Each structure stands twice: as structure tokens, then as C-alpha cells.
């Protein structure tokens, strides 16, 4: 699977997130949950047992009083490139990288629920279904028919709204085209962001907005030093925000998440 | 009722050795059965209601059970390593403990498998690993090897079971046992091969995690250094655990079960391997601190700034529970005395448990992102209950095996031997 990814990809979808624009409203989280049939949290769930494919972390510069500055970092699956930590560890090939899109996929139907992939992920972007999914009475009518809800005991994570990709592919084929029009495929979080902080597109297309943003000097990726080649590019004009991409510093309770 | 049980019990008791009465035995088993019932209830809750019954979470995805699995499989390594020494390297003295080692192996491996089945979110999909194996995953290797080796252990356990005085009355059992015995060298060889691999792949389980620089290690070809360190540490503490369990059974039963030279031989083997392991582990730690971790952008010093996991844990593992027991086990005068031998064996076992704890629990507690938090985790009563159930299962299986099967062939001989209090048996017999 990894070797497949090393070939030239037809597309390499990724994101560019402008941290300076993100106001932490959480619209992306809500839109993601609605689009992907992520169930409401169980009454006993905590912030460590809940389900959300994208989570907005609040970080600060560590100073007090008037010097204190805050920023919001939306954290989702980073869709690592080569050596994606979660792909090689899954004992039953329930995790793969789609060579056509570069998207790291998760097959809940094949997942054993061993959670080895969660242990392997340095971004903590994978979530386990600790409870049976349940929606309040009547709310099941709002479920997205294009996305299968997951059962208890399996892992799930962001897949760049795979249902939308399928719809875009079907539309492209119906129109007799081979390449998906960028306007036809946009994940729900990108669409919902009120400040336009999240951009999505093909990183292989050097003229795309996302690829151009990824090349900007203020662009950074989380934990680049471990060599996972993530496809989520963040950017900020503030140096202290860019510093959050580095590993934690010794003995310091870091920028509060 | 009691009379019937007693008569039935006597018919199955091993010939030539003395065991407590049936009521005494039942009294001994009672608390363990109570714990087993608690374990079954706890595991049942996790299976029926889901893993929300545990205190694991999205960040602490592995908990008590994985730590226990890794530890008991290392301690159970005495089974394969004693088999390897006895049947392949011809250390005949170890015949005195091989049956006990096999039972410990069966208990440890089957207990670990049971805990693993509760630990996964979809236990009914366990067969998927065999159907859609990912050959790149260390967990695939672990699943294959442990399943196969447990089968080998169960086959090795059969001759011990079929040698029971009552079961021997069935001629076909006797023939079957005789035929099985012919296979023992093949089984020992296969068991050794499988064990080397799964002990190693259990080490590789964390060693390959590039995203967890605290656990990640460089290695040879596809195997990280932890692959080899786990094999070595398991082989080193397997004999120590055998020393400890044999001594414990001697104390509990009030009988001598093996000659001193067997303890001595096991101690020498354990001491030698432990010293090699300590050397290798120290070297690995130096490379990891100076090269592996910094190359991933993580200064190793940061790991030990998060309390309570200070550098003390590293020293406790390598020096306190590694070097110290290795020295004791290697010095003939020290290992000849139980007062030194048993604590040294216990320290060695504690060392391997600490190593597995560091690999599993400390790895997950440490933050990887700068806006991450240092995490803590305490197992729920359901997790603890399941673990206690596995422990109770082990004690029950071993107790039954000790009572009804000949786990220590030298026991009958030693029963007749009057041991002078002052005169010590020569301890330098044997090889090495």
C-alpha cells in the first residue's frame, strides 16, 4: 500500500488552513458530524471518549495578561503521505491510502477494533466507537443516506467526505469527463467555514489555491520532523503559532489545547 | 457428597506423591473461583455493553490488558526456552521443570488470548486477521504466532494430562500419549521458532511506531531493536519466573520439588542472558537518546520531564531490575542461597514487567503535539476484574495440574531423601 503511494498519484488532495482566520466557532465540527453521520455524544462520554472527525484546539502563546494571544487549530486526520503510521500497523488492511486521491481511508466494516492505529497516530485524529451510535428520536431522519453509520467497537476518522467524492466522481463520469472539477468536490468543513479559513484541493496541481498556499513561507505542517508527510498545511503570520507545529518542549505544559 | 468427591479425587491423584485432602484443595480453590467469577462478569460486561466499561479512551487506546498481555507472555517464555534448552540443546537437568514450564506457558498464553479477545472492539471479527492479513503489521505476526504457539503448547500439554494415573487406564490414551511423545522434539523446535518470532513482534509492536518517538527504535532490516530486546528479555526472565514459581509451589505445598542443581542451572542461564540483555538494552538506550529520538525532532530529555516518569524509571529498569539480579544470579555463592536467589528472580521478572509498562503505558501518556497534554489513566474495576479473572484462571489450571499430573518428576525421589540441614548439595553440576 505504501509502495503504491510512492507512485505519481492522479490527485493528492489536501488542505490549507489559515490559523489566523479561524475564530474557533466550531462550524466545521458540526458540518462534519452532520455530513458523516457522526452520532451525538453519549451521556457518559468525555472529551477523550467522544467522536469528532475534526477538533478545534485552542492554543496560546503562554504569556499572561495583555500579552496573551490565542489561536485555534482545527485538527483532523493529516492524511499522511508515505509512511503513514496508521496504514502499516493495521493487522487486517482496514486502513489504506487511495492511490487515486492520496486519501487515507478507514474501512469500519473490516475494522477489528484493536486500536493499534490510534496508538500509532501522533495526531490523535482517530476515534473509537466506545458506544453504540444513537440519535435522539426523529433525528435519524437527518442522517445522510450516502454515508454508512459506524457500529460500536470500530475506529473511524476523517476521509475528506468520501461520500462527496463518490458523488463528484459519478457526476464527472455522467458528464463524460475524466478529471473531477474542483468545484464539485469540497468536504463539508470547508464549505461550512464562515471565515473561509479552510481551503481544499489537489496538491499535485501546482496552480491550485491549496498548492499555492502550501508553498507560502508562513505555511507549516504538524510534526514534520517525524517524516509522515501530512497533507494538511496550516499557515500563520505569527511565529509562536508556527512553533506549535514542533514537538513539545521538555517538562513544559505546552500551549493549552 | 464429600466422601464421593474424596474417592473420585484419590483415583486421579498422582501416584507416589502426597497431596492435601480434597476438602483442603477445594478450600484453596474457593477464593480463586470467586475471582474467576468476578473476571467472567467483568469481561462479560465489556463484551455485552462494550469497551465503554473500561477507562481507556481515544488517547489511551491501550491500557492494563495490553500491559498484562505483554508481561505474561514474556514471563511464559520459560515454556519455549526450557523446551529449547532441554530438547534442542540437551540440558537434561531441565526435565525436572519442563512440565511445570509447559503448564505455565499454557496458562500465560491462553490467558493473554482471552484478555485480547475482550480488548478488541469486534471480537467476532478476529478471523479477519487470518483472512485479510497485512504482512507489514507486527500485530499480524503476533496474532499468527501466538495462535500457532498456543496450539503447540496445548499439544505439549496433552502428554502431561494423559499421563494421569486414571487416564492411563484407557489404552488408546496411552498409545496416543506415546505417539505424541515422539513428536516432542519437533514441537519444541516449532515452538521455539514461533516463540522467537512473536516475542520479537511484540517488541516490534511499539518499536515501529514512528509517530511515537518515545517508543520508536531503529533496527535491522524491517525489525526495530525492540524486536531483539524482547526476545532476549523474555528468554532471560523465563527461567527466573520458573525459579520463582517452583519456589512458590514448594513453599505453598511444603514439599521439595526439584533438586538444587536445577535451580542453580536455571539461575545461571537467566543470569547470563540477563547480563547480555542489560548490555544490549543500555546500548540501545544510548543510541535512542543520542540518535534515534533527536532525528525525529524529539529530545529524549523531554520524556523524563513529565512526572512521575522521571529518569528513575530508566535506572530502575536497567540497573535495579536488570544489572542487580544479573550479578546475583551469576555469582555462585549468592545464587546458592534462596534468600538471594528468589529476590533476584523476582527482580528480574519485575524488570521485564517494568519494561513492558514503559513501552505500553508511558508511551501513551507522553504528549506528541505541542498543544497536547500529559495524560493519566487508571483502569476501571471491570478492567481490573478481567485481569484478576485471568490471574485466577492461571492459578486454578496450575493447581489442578499440580495436584493431578506429574509436574515435577523429581518430587517422588526427593520425598524419600532426607536432606541434612547444614549440608548443601553441590551446585556446580551440569553444563554451561
Q: Is residue B426 scored above 60 in pLDDT? A: no
Q: Looking at residues A72-82, what average pLDDT do you find?
A: 94
B299 to chain A: which residues are within 8 Å by CB? 250
| CA pair distance B322, B308, nearest whole angstrom | 21
**Cβ neighbours of B183 (radius 10 Å):** 13
- Grid cell in block for residue B94: 531441565
In the predicted model, is pLDDT for residue A175 greater than 80? yes
> What is the DSSP track for B274-338?
HHHHHHHHHHHHHHIIIIIHHHTT--GGGGGGSTT--THHHHIIIIIIIIHHHHHHHSHHHHTSH
pLDDT above 80: residue B3:
no
DSSP H or E run through A70: strand A70-76
pLDDT, one tens digit per residue, over B95-143 is 899 999 999 999 999 999 999 999 999 999 999 999 999 998 999 988 9
A29-51: average pLDDT:
94
C-alpha cell at A41: 455524544
Shortest CA distance from A108: residue in chain B: B122
Of the residues B120, B224, B370, B383, the best mutation for testing chain A's interface (the one with the most A CB atoms within 10 Å of its CB) is B370
The sign of the CA dihedral B218, B223, B227, B228 is negative
Q: Nearest-CA distance from A37 to chain B in Å?
A: 19
Query: Which of A 130-189 lie inside 8 A of B, CB atoms?
Result: 130-132, 151-155
Distance from CA of B371 to the nearest CA of A (A): 5
pLDDT above 90 (res B78): no
Q: Do B210 and A83 touch (CB under 8 A)?
A: yes
Q: Residue A80 has which C-alpha cell?
A: 499522511
Q: How far apart are CA B142 and CA B299, in angstroms?
A: 31
pLDDT band at B418 (very low <50, low <70, confident <90, very high): low
pLDDT above 70 coverage of chain A, percent: 93
Cα distance from A183 to chain B (closest Cα, Å)?
A: 33
Range with lowest mean pLDDT among B158-172, B200-214, B303-317, B379-393: B158-172
Nearest partner of B426 among B206, B263, B270, judged by Cα: B263
Cell representation of residue B274: 540477563
Q: What percent of chain B has pLDDT over 90?
A: 59
Across A54-70, average pLDDT: 91
Grid coordinates representing A44? 457518559
How do residues B275-307 score in pLDDT, each as one tens digit?
Answer: 999 999 999 999 999 999 999 999 888 888 888
**Residue A58 and residue A72 in contact, taking contact as beta carbons nearer than 8 Å:** yes
Is pLDDT at A150 greater than 90 in this prediction? yes
Using the Cβ of A82 and the Cβ atoms of chain B, whether some distance falls under 8 Å is answered with no
Average pLDDT rounded to a whole number, residues A145-151: 94
The backbone region for B151, taken as left when phi is positive above 0, alpha when psi lies in -120 to 50, beta otherwise, is alpha
Torsion (CA) B5, B7, B9, B10 in degrees, nearest 10? 160
How would residue B161 be classed by pLDDT, with cut points 50, 70 and 90? confident
- pLDDT for res A75: 96
Q: Is the pLDDT of residue B36 over 90?
A: yes
Residues with Cβ < 8 Å from B183, sequence gap 6 or more?
B155
B260 pLDDT higher than 60: yes
List chain B residues with CB under 8 Å of A127: 58
CB of B145 closer than 8 Å to CB of B386: no
- Residues of chain B contacting A59 with CB distance shorter than 8 Å: 370-371
Q: Does residue A5 carry a pLDDT above 80? A: no
B-chain residues near A119 (CB < 8 A): 61-62, 209, 212, 363-364
> What pLDDT is attached to residue B195?
80
Query: What average pLDDT does this structure show over A26-42?
Result: 95
Chain A residue with Cα closest to B53: A130
pLDDT above 50 for A9? no
| Number of other CB atoms surrounding residue B142 within 10 Å | 25
* Shortest alpha-carbon distance between residue B392 and chain A (Å): 25
Out of A46, A127, A130, closest to residue B51 by CB:
A130
Least confident of A17-26, A224-233, B172-181: B172-181
Task: Report the C-alpha dihedral over residues B206, B207, B209, B212, rounded to 10 degrees.
Answer: 80
Q: What's the confidence (pLDDT) of residue A186? A: 95
Amino acid at each position: 500500500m505504501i509502495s503504491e503511494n510512492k507512485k505519481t498519484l492522479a490527485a493528492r488532495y489536501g488542505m490549507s488552513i489559515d490559523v489566523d482566520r479561524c475564530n474557533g466557532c466550531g462550524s466545521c465540527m458540526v458540518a462534519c458530524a452532520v455530513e458523516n453521520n457522526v452520532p451525538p455524544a453519549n451521556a457518559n462520554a468525555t472529551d477523550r471518549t467522544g467522536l469528532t472527525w475534526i477538533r478545534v484546539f485552542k492554543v496560546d502563546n503562554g504569556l499572561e495578561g495583555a500579552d496573551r494571544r490565542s489561536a485555534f487549530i482545527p485538527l483532523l486526520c493529516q492524511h499522511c503521505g508515505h509512511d503513514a503510521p496508521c496504514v502499516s500497523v493495521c493487522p487486517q488492511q482496514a486502513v489504506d491510502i487511495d492511490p487515486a486521491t492520496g486519501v487515507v481511508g478507514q474501512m469500519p466494516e473490516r475494522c477489528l477494533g484493536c486500536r493499534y492505529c490510534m496508538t500509532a497516530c501522533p495526531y490523535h485524529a482517530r476515534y473509537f466507537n466506545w458506544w453504540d451510535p444513537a440519535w435522539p428520536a426523529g433525528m435519524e431522519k437527518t442522517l445522510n443516506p450516502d454515508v454508512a453509520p459506524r457500529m460500536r467497537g470500530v475506529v473511524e476518522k476523517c476521509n475528506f467526505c468520501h461520500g462527496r467524492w463518490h458523488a463528484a466522481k459519478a457526476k464527472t463520469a455522467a458528464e463524460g469527463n475524466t478529471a473531477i472539477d474542483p468545484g464539485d468536490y469540497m468536504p463539508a468543513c470547508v464549505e461550512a467555514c464562515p471565515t473561509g479559513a479552510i481551503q481544499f484541493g489537489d496538491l499535485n496541481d501546482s496552480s491550485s489555491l491549496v498548492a499555492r498556499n502550501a508553498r507560502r513561507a508562513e505555511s507549516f505542517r504538524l510534526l514534520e520532523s517525524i517524516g509522515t508527510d501530512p497533507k494538511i498545511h496550516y499557515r500563520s503570520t505569527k511565529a509562536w503559532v508556527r512553533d506549535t507545529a514542533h514537538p513539545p518542549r521538555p517538562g513544559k505544559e505546552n500551549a493549552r489545547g | 457428597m464429600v466422601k464421593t468427591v474424596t474417592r473420585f479425587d484419590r483415583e486421579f491423584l498422582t501416584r507416589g506423591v502426597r497431596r492435601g485432602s480434597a476438602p483442603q484443595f477445594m478450600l484453596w480453590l474457593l477464593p480463586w473461583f470467586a475471582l474467576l467469577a468476578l473476571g467472567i462478569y467483568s469481561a462479560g460486561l465489556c463484551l455485552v455493553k462494550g469497551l465503554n466499561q473500561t477507562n481507556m479512551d481515544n488517547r489511551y487506546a491501550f491500557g492494563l490488558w495490553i500491559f498484562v498481555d505483554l508481561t505474561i507472555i514474556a514471563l511464559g517464555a520459560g515454556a519455549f526456552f526450557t523446551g529449547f534448552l532441554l530438547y534442542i540443546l540437551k540440558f537434561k537437568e531441565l526435565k525436572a521443570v519442563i512440565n511445570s514450564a509447559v503448564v505455565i506457558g499454557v496458562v500465560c498464553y491462553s490467558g493473554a488470548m482471552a484478555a485480547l479477545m475482550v480488548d478488541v472492539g469486534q471480537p467476532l471479527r478476529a478471523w479477519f486477521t487470518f483472512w485479510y492479513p497485512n504482512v507489514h503489521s507486527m500485530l499480524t505476526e503476533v496474532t499468527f504466532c501466538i495462535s500457532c504457539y498456543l496450539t503447540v503448547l496445548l499439544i505439549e500439554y496433552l502428554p502431561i494430562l494423559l499421563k494421569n494415573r486414571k487416564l492411563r487406564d484407557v489404552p488408546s490414551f496411552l498409545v496416543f500419549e506415546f505417539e505424541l511423545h515422539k513428536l516432542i522434539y519437533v514441537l519444541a523446535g516449532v515452538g521455539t521458532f514461533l516463540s522467537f518470532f512473536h516475542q520479537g513482534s511484540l517488541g516490534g509492536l511499539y518499536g515501529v511506531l514512528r509517530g511515537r518517538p518515545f517508543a520508536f527504535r531503529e533496527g535491522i532490516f524491517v525489525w526495530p531493536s525492540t524486536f531483539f530486546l524482547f526476545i532476549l528479555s523474555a528468554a532471560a526472565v523465563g527461567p527466573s519466573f520458573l525459579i520463582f514459581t517452583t519456589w512458590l509451589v514448594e513453599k505453598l505445598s511444603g514439599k521439595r520439588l526439584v533438586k538444587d542443581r536445577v535451580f542453580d542451572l536455571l539461575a545461571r542461564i537467566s543470569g547470563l542472558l540477563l547480563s547480555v540483555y542489560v548490555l544490549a538494552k543500555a546500548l540501545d538506550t544510548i543510541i535512542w537518546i543520542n540518535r534515534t529520538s533527536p532525528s525525529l525532532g524529539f529530545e529524549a530529555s523531554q520524556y523524563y520531564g513529565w512526572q512521575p516518569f522521571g529518569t528513575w524509571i530508566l535506572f530502575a529498569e536497567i540497573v535495579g531490575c536488570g544489572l542487580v539480579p544479573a550479578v546475583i544470579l551469576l555469582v555462585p555463592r549468592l545464587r546458592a542461597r534462596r534468600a538471594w536467589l528468589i529476590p533476584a528472580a523476582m527482580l528480574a521478572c519485575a524488570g521485564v514487567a517494568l519494561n513492558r509498562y514503559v513501552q505500553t503505558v508511558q508511551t501513551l501518556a507522553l504528549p506528541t503535539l505541542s498543544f497536547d497534554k500529559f495524560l493519566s489513566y487508571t483502569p476501571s474495576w471491570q478492567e481490573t476484574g478481567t485481569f484478576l479473572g485471568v490471574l485466577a484462571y492461571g492459578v486454578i489450571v496450575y493447581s489442578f495440574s499440580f495436584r493431578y499430573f506429574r509436574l515435577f518428576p523429581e518430587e517422588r525421589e526427593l520425598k524419600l531423601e532426607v536432606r541434612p540441614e547444614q549440608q548443601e548439595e553441590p551446585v556446580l553440576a551440569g553444563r554451561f
